[in-house]
């Protein structure tokens, strides 16, 4: 068995080496699980790996894997994952819960140098927090890293974590990233280090909170100067979203990447300097892959179960709410009867 593992490592290393033709980054070195340790929280275990790294794994991963947030629109290559949804597809109010099991730690504690909102006629889709170069930046809540890449559009090194309540947090301009797409992270786990990569004139953390790609003011939920969560239950009003979240506007030419949707696809997918896209992740990837699109002529149906909403179906099947309504001859306010078969594709 040991021989087999060594062989597998050698093959992976050779493959990586051939594909990359540069020194292996730490994140590309194959990792083998070594030990599983308890933590101070029953629902989380710590798994250590042969390369000295570690990951937190939920004890009952089934609950996390089956959360609606992780069963659709999973895109590790692009910044934005909900391209089939528009702002008008979102409900007027979304109830966001920060349960005890999601944990919390402020990504950094410090002065907000630049708040969310309009700045010189442009959109600033996050907050800028003063940090030191190399300072550890923490995951705000438990979740799974959806995207960890170099972004040529201005974010520099960016990590995006998706949380079970559907929110995503963005950590940009990092000097170094400490996690890879697919990693489970705990609130307070280091996702990277403070820096000024990308379009940043000074060292700072650019931090965003998004739901279905749409940004809102992170200060609505986090007090960065005290490092405290403002509320456990948050009614996310559609009016809070910035209509230009995914639009072209940048912010005073300094750091905001905000590319047009079409352009974002190509430039987001540019190869990173430190890793080759498609480099196989050696340990089992816990994240569900986005299912391949069904052939257009094959309709897909979904039987309504308790808790289903049009939005959840839209997110799960990648079909806009408006399209769902049109295909089933219903409206956004139609009650979804249990057992009804809705066409979803
Ligand atoms: Zn910023």
For the chain, what are the domain ranges? 2-268, 301-343
Query: Above 90 in pLDDT, residue 338?
Result: no
Fold match between 2-268 and 301-343?
Answer: no
CA atoms of 159 and 275, how far apart (whole Å): 14
Residue corresponding to tokens 């009614």: 235
Contact 253, 107 (CB under 8 A): no
Calculate the alpha carbon distances from 167 to 36, 179, 288 in Å: 28, 18, 17
Query: Given this model, what pLDDT does residue 86 score?
Result: 87
What's the CA-to-centroid distance between 251 and ligand 1, angstroms?
Answer: 8
Predicted TM-score of the model (pTM): 0.61
What's the CA-to-centroid distance between 207 and ligand 1, angstroms?
Answer: 7
- The CATH architecture that domain 2-268 belongs to is Distorted Sandwich (2.70)
What's the CA-to-centroid distance between 128 and ligand 1, angstroms?
Answer: 5
Q: Which residues surround ligand 1, an ion (CB under 5 A)?
A: 128, 206
Answer with the residue of higher pLDDT: 301 or 306. Answer: 301
pLDDT bin (cut points 50, 70, 90) of residue 133 is very high
If you average pLDDT over every residue of the chain, what do you get?
75
CA atoms of 88 and 92, how far apart (whole Å): 9
CATH of domain 301-343: 3.10.350.10
Query: Above 60 in pLDDT, residue 279?
Result: no
Beta bridge partners of 45: 38, 57
Contact 31, 50 (CB under 8 A): yes
What's the CA-to-centroid distance between 168 and ligand 1, angstroms?
Answer: 16
Query: Above 90 in pLDDT, residue 224?
Result: yes
């Amino acid at each position: 068995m040991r021989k087999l593992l060594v062989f597998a490592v050698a093959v992976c290393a050779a493959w990586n080496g051939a594909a990359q033709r540069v020194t292996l980054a730490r994140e590309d070195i194959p990792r083998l699980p070594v030990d599983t340790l308890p933590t101070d929280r029953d629902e989380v275990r710590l798994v250590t790996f042969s390369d000295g790294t570690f990951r937190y794994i939920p004890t009952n991963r089934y609950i996390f894997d089956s959360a609606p947030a992780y069963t659709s629109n999973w895109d590790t290559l692009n910044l934005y994952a909900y391209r089939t949804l528009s702002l008008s597809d979102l409900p007027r109010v979304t109830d966001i819960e920060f349960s005890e099991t999601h944990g919390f730690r402020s990504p950094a504690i410090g002065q907000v140098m630049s708040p969310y909102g309009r700045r010189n006629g442009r959109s600033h889709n996050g907050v800028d927090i003063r940090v030191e170069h190399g300072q550890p930046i923490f995951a705000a809540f438990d979740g799974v890293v959806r995207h960890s890449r170099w972004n040529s559009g201005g974010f520099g090194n960016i990590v995006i974590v998706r949380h079970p309540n559907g929110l995503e947090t963005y950590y940009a301009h990092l000097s170094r990233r400490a996690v890879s797409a697919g990693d489970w992270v705990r609130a307070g786990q280091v996702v990277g280090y403070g820096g000024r990569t990308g379009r940043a004139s000074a060292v700072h953390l650019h931090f965003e909170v998004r739901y279905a790609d749409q940004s809102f003011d992170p200060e609505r939920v986090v007090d960065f100067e005290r490092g405290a969560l403002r509320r456990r239950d948050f009614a996310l009003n559609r009016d809070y979203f910035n209509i230009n979240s995914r639009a072209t506007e940048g912010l005073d030419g300094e750091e905001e990447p905000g590319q047009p949707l079409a352009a974002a696809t190509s430039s987001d997918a540019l190869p990173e300097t430190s890793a080759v896209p498609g480099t196989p992740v050696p340990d089992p990837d816990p994240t569900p892959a986005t299912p391949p699109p069904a052939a257009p002529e094959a309709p897909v149906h979904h039987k309504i179960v308790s808790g289903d909403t049009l939005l959840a179906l839209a997110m799960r099947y990648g079909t806009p709410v408006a399209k769902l309504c049109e295909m089933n001859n219903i409206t956004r306010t139609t009650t979804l009867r249990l057992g009804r078969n809705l066409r979803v594709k």
